[in-house]
């Protein structure tokens, strides 16, 4: 009790603004710009760890692709390249709407922000729907390792069954991990859209939108690599 | 953070470029270029990644600190991939099981 009394008695620091926007600027930061830089820096550090998190799977992919190339080609040719391309277009479009959402937040345009966040969410869901369709196709083709792997002879294209199975393991693990990130991203954006709709994202402090945008674009970049690495191995010209 | 940010026009241009590059990747897969199919596909992926990173993620306009974080990420990734590959590829007794009799 006496401690509180002592702190109450402390005079205000001279440079303390009389009515600081305490809900916007957290007390540990000098000004809003420093806070924004710190928020962005923190997200970039997280994304660097994410890079290595996915990097482990990509390294595994590179090694097994080197060791079992015919199986990987056969497995890749069993995937629908057009569906993969469609997913790429949808995801690139979602990245564009996300960038526009950050732009709207920066300009303080609430309606535009909610609109672009919602479009990003819809495009994200469209991507997942396409992905899910493809998973169902793989189930019907009996190409799901561990659960339902009895591929028809023609889908092996002369490669050993076990190495095609290995490719399908990588396919499901990499796209599954990516889809998990998409689901998390959609959740983040849904919360943001509600908060933005309530008008609780001030123009001075839109880093929540900016930082979520960085995450969304990162997930997009992962897909930019997954598309050629999974769907286009060895070309499609045969 | 510098105040300069990309304009809506820049976003649209970058988006168009990304769409063209995505179409190009898909199209080129149907042309027989031998080992260059993979090389070109990856080169296009790197360009697409750079466009997204520099403009959508504002790295072009960001403080150097953020760019260093990105470079550090790539550095560690390069270590991970190159050292692991060096190990696997230099062990002559590891060969593709595809080639072994079953």
| DSSP secondary structure of A182-212 | HHHHHHHHHHHHHHHHTT-S-TT--HHHHHH
ipTM of the complex: 0.89
Q: From the CA of A79, how many Å to the nearest CA of chain B? A: 13
- Domain range for B65: 8-89
- The 10 Å CB-count burial string (b at 16+, else e) for A144-166 is bbeeebebeeebbbebbbebbbb
CB contact under 8 A, B19 and A89: yes
**Cross-strand pairs, A143:** A149
Q: Is residue B99 part of a domain?
A: no
Q: Is residue B94 part of a domain?
A: no
Q: Which of B15, B56, B75 is most worth mutating to test chain A (most A CB atoms within 10 A of its CB)?
A: B56
**Cross-strand pairs, A148:** A144
Which residues on A lie below 8 Å from B15 (Cβ)? 92-93, 95-96
Question: Looking at chain A, which residue has its C-alpha nearest residue B48?
Answer: A224
- The 10 Å CB-count burial string (b at 16+, else e) for B1-38 is beeeebeeeebeebbeebeebbeebbebbeeeeeeebb
Looking at the 3D structure of chain B, how many domains does it have?
1
Q: Is residue B97 part of a domain?
A: no
Q: Is residue B96 part of a domain?
A: no
Q: Is residue B95 part of a domain?
A: no
CB contact under 8 A, A52 and B25: no
- Is some CB atom of chain B closer than 8 A to the CB atom of A159? yes
Contact in structure between A39 and B65 (CB atoms under 8 Å): no
Q: Which of A106, A170, A69 is nearest to B11 (CA)?
A: A106
> A142-150, long-range: CB within 8 Å, 24+ apart, which pairs?
A143/A78, A143/A168, A144/A168, A144/A172, A145/A169, A145/A172
Q: From the CA of B49, how many Å to the nearest CA of chain A? A: 6
Q: Is residue B58 part of a domain?
A: yes
Q: Is residue B34 part of a domain?
A: yes
Question: Is residue A16 scored above 70 in pLDDT?
Answer: no
CB contact under 8 A, B19 and A92: yes
> A202-206, long-range: CB within 8 Å, 24+ apart, which pairs?
A202/A24, A202/A108, A203/A105, A203/A106, A203/A107, A203/A108, A204/A21, A204/A24, A204/A32, A205/A24, A205/A25, A205/A32, A205/A35, A205/A36, A206/A102, A206/A105, A206/A106
- pTM for the model: 0.89
> Locate tokens 């959508």: which residue?
B56
Q: Is residue B101 part of a domain?
A: no
pLDDT, tens only, A68-111: 999 999 999 999 999 999 999 999 999 999 999 999 999 999 99
Which of A62-76, A151-165, A198-212, B9-23 bottoms out in mean pLDDT, i.e. has the lowest? A151-165
**A137-162 mean pLDDT:** 89
Q: Which two tokens stand for residue A119?
A: 């479009």
pLDDT, tens only, A196-231: 999 999 888 899 999 999 999 999 999 999 999 999
């Amino acid at each position: 009790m006496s401690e509180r009394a002592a702190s109450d008695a402390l005079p205000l620091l001279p440079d303390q603004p009389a009515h600081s926007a305490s809900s916007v600027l957290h007390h540990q930061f000098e000004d809003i710009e420093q806070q924004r830089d710190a928020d962005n820096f923190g997200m970039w550090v997280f994304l660097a760890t994410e890079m290595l998190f996915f990097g482990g799977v990509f390294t595994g992919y590179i090694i097994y692709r080197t060791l079992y190339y015919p199986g990987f080609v056969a497995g890749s040719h069993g995937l629908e390249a057009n569906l993969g391309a469609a997913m790429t277009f949808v995801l690139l479009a979602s990245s564009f709407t996300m960038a526009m959402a950050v732009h709207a937040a920066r300009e303080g345009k609430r309606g535009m922000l909610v609109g672009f966040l919602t479009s990003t969410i819809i495009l994200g869901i469209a991507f997942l729907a396409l992905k899910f369709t493809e998973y169902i196709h793989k189930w019907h083709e009996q190409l799901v390792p561990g659960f339902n792997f009895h591929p028809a002879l023609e889908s092996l294209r002369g490669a050993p069954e076990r190495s095609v199975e290995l490719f399908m393991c990588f396919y499901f693990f990499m796209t599954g991990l990516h889809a998990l990130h998409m689901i998390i991203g959609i959740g983040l954006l849904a919360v943001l859209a509600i908060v933005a709709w309530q008008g609780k994202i001030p123009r001075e402090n839109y880093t929540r939108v900016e930082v979520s945008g960085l995450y969304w674009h990162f997930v997009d970049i992962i897909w930019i690599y997954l598309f050629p690495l999974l769907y286009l191995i060895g070309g499609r010209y045969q | 953070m510098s105040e300069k940010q990309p304009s809506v026009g820049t976003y649209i241009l970058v988006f168009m470029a990304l769409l063209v590059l995505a179409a190009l990747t898909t199209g080129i897969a149907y042309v027989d270029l031998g080992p260059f199919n993979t090389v070109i596909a990856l080169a296009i992926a790197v360009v697409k990644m750079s466009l997204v990173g520099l403009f959508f993620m504002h790295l072009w306009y960001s403080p150097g600190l953020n760019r260093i974080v990105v470079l550090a990420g790539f550095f560690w990734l390069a270590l991970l991939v190159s050292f692991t590959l060096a190990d696997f590829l230099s062990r002559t007794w590891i060969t593709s099981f595809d080639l072994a009799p079953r």
